[in-house]
Structure 1
Amino acid sequence: MIAVDSYAYNNNLKSVHPAEKSLFVMLTMGVCLASSTMITPLIVLAVMAGGIILKAGIPTRVLIKLMTVPLAFLLISMLTIVFSVSTNSSGFWLAQTYNGFTIGIRYPDLMTAANLFLRSLGAVSCLYFLALTTPLTELITVLHKLKVPFIITELMVLIYRFIFVFMETATAIRRAQYSRSGYISVNSSFRSMSRLFSALLGKVFVKSQDLYNSMAARCYTGEIKVLTKKRPVSFKNYFIIAVIEIPLILLNLLWR
């Protein structure tokens, strides 16, 4: 069991109804993505971090480690927005000219990139809140109540399951390679990594067939049914959601 899945089953908010957490996350993420000011994403990031760390009891180091995962993609996206190339050197805040071409930064582009960066982080924190506090089986139940087609939820379950299969298989192969000094040098590391990928493809294919056979042996008829606990509905939680969301919406409207 990976860390995210382990915390989803063992946190202080696991008894909260999944529909309440899903509603809170979807509303907050929508407000964050629709924001035209950088204040709202910062508030969303703080609220979600507080909910994950203080309310759910997830360690701070876990959240920081997870938040660093999308940083590389966000930084690359920011660079493509921040830097501009033009033959006209006017309008640049910081610039350098080479052979008639000006490479630099315009202040509006910098603000746009910063706003996009913060909105993306805020949206990612919303998804982490849902992933760290709600097991997949409970999310599937919510999707079924929303009349999401079964083919989509089944694909979600199978893909989620294969994440574990993929990681377990890759870990076992890599451990075997380490025990045989497969990563003792740069050349051997590249060679071992290529062999890992090729072996992983065959082993995962075999395991996928074994998984289907085990499902067929348990009377699989094209629909995966999950067993979840019934959670009590709390009007207090809906009131808290309204108290958080209404000021955020008003902030977006007034600050625009």
Structure 2
Amino acid sequence: MTSIDCYAYSNNLKTVHPVEKSLFAMITMVVCLTSPTVITPLIIVALMAGGIIFKAGIPARIFVKLMLVPLSFLLISVLTIAFSISTNPSGFWLAQTINGVTVGTRYPDLITAVHLFLRSLGAVSCLYFLALTTPMTELITVLNKMMVPVIITELMLLIYRFIFVFMETATTIRRAQLSRSGYVSMKSSYRSLSRLFSALLGKVFVKSQELYNSMAARCYTGEIKVLTKKHPVNLSNYIIIIGLELPLILLNLLGR
């Protein structure tokens, strides 16, 4: 998360208006999620990879590393859709029967799983494009312009802040445990891990109180104010967005 925040403030697209980047990412994600074919999500992943690596100037290894994070969750999800267990072996495309129980996949289920997997990857790449090129404060400004309730944007900002507090506190506690040989064996690892969670809960609660006190000392009145830079509106970017989105929408219509 720290590297994502650093790249959001230092990428080559940091001067682009956040509304333009948000519009491009959100429209592309909707097109990806509504795609009836596997071609559109593949194009979107390549498009977002090109935007992140070549336009934003973010290293390719960072993008690949981030894309590998949700891969395990997606594989578990699609495997439960692709494979079925039944006592009736009929209708399976590929199957293996063991003691009267058939484990296999049906062709429609396999196609559905592949579609779901690729759509999810495409949607995740859109979110990574937005996260890696747009700071959280600018996203909050965009949401405020969209008349999103203040309570939602404030919760987003506080949760985002506490992700870093949570990670920093957990890293500090684990480093202290490692220096005291807390993970030299399986038994000590379980014991140290349980103590880490219990200590983490108390320390994060204390830090949340400290954060609220610091906000109250700065005249917090129930609304968090964020400072953002003013970015010029570039009409050519909107033309580029239209030029990229129209072929994808037409591809979806032809795929239906």
TM-score (norm 1): 0.98
Residue 76 (1) aligns with residue 105 (2): no
The whole-number CA distance in structure 2 between the counterparts of 1:93 and 1:102 is: 11
The match for 2:128 is 128
> What residue in structure 2 maps to residue 245 of structure 1?
245
Deviation beyond 4 Å, 4+ runs, structure 1: none
Q: Which residue of 2 aligns with 1:5?
A: 5
Spell out the pairing of 1:9-158 with structure 2 (5 A cutoff): 9-158=9-158
Distance 2:80 2:122 in 1: 20
The corresponding residue for 2:179 is: 179
Within 2, Cα distance between the matches of 1:100 and 1:189? 42
Distance 2:22 2:59 in 1: 22
Report the Cα offset of residue 182 of structure 1: 1.1
Please identify, of 94-103 and 219-228, the stretch whose mean Cα deviation from structure 2 is larger.
Answer: 94-103
Q: Which runs of 5+ in 1 are unaligned?
A: none
SS in 2 for 1:65: helix
1:203 equivalent to 2:220? Answer: no
Number of aligned residues: 256
Partner of 1:220: 220
The share of aligned pairs that are identical, in percent, is 77
Structure 2: how far apart are the matches of 1:116 and 1:215? Answer: 43
- Cα deviations across residues 5-28 of structure 1 (Å, max 9, x unaligned)? 000000000000000000000100
Alignment-mate amino acid for residue 100 of structure 1: G
Q: Distance in 2 between matches of 1:80 and 1:164?
A: 33
Q: Which amino acid aligns with 1:185?
A: S
Distance 1:188 1:65 in 2: 30
Moved more, 147-156 or 86-95: 86-95
Report the Cα distance in structure 2 between the residues aligned to 1:94 and 1:29, rounded to whole angstroms: 33
SS of 1:231's equivalent?
Answer: coil
Q: CA deviation at 1:162?
A: 0.4
Name the amino acid aligned to 1:166.
Answer: F
Task: Kindly report the root-mean-square deviation, in angstroms, between the aligned alpha carbons of the 2 structures.
Answer: 0.9
Q: Deviations over 1:20-54 (max 9, x none)?
A: 00000010000000001000000000000000000
Q: 1:235 — aligned with what?
A: 235
Q: How high is the TM-score relative to the length of structure 2? A: 0.98
| Aligned AA (1:70) | P
Structure 1 stretch 127-136 or stretch 169-178: which is displaced more?
169-178
Counterpart Cα distance in 2 of 1:183 and 1:6: 31
Tell me the distance in 2 between the aligned counterparts of 1:197 and 1:183. 15
Shift of 1:206: 0.4
Query: 1:83-107, CA deviations, whole angstroms, 9 ceiling, x for partnerless residues?
Result: 1122321221111223333211111
Partner Cα separation in structure 2 for residue 10 and residue 194 of structure 1: 38
SS of residue paired to 2:102: strand
Q: CA deviation at 1:179?
A: 1.0
Determine helix, strand or coil for the equivalent of 1:14: coil
Offset of residue 79 of structure 1: 1.0
* Residue identity matched to 2:118: L
Residues in 1 aligned to 2:154 and 2:216: alpha-carbon distance in whole angstroms: 15
Amino acid of the residue matched to residue 155 of structure 2? L
Letter in 1 for 2:169: T
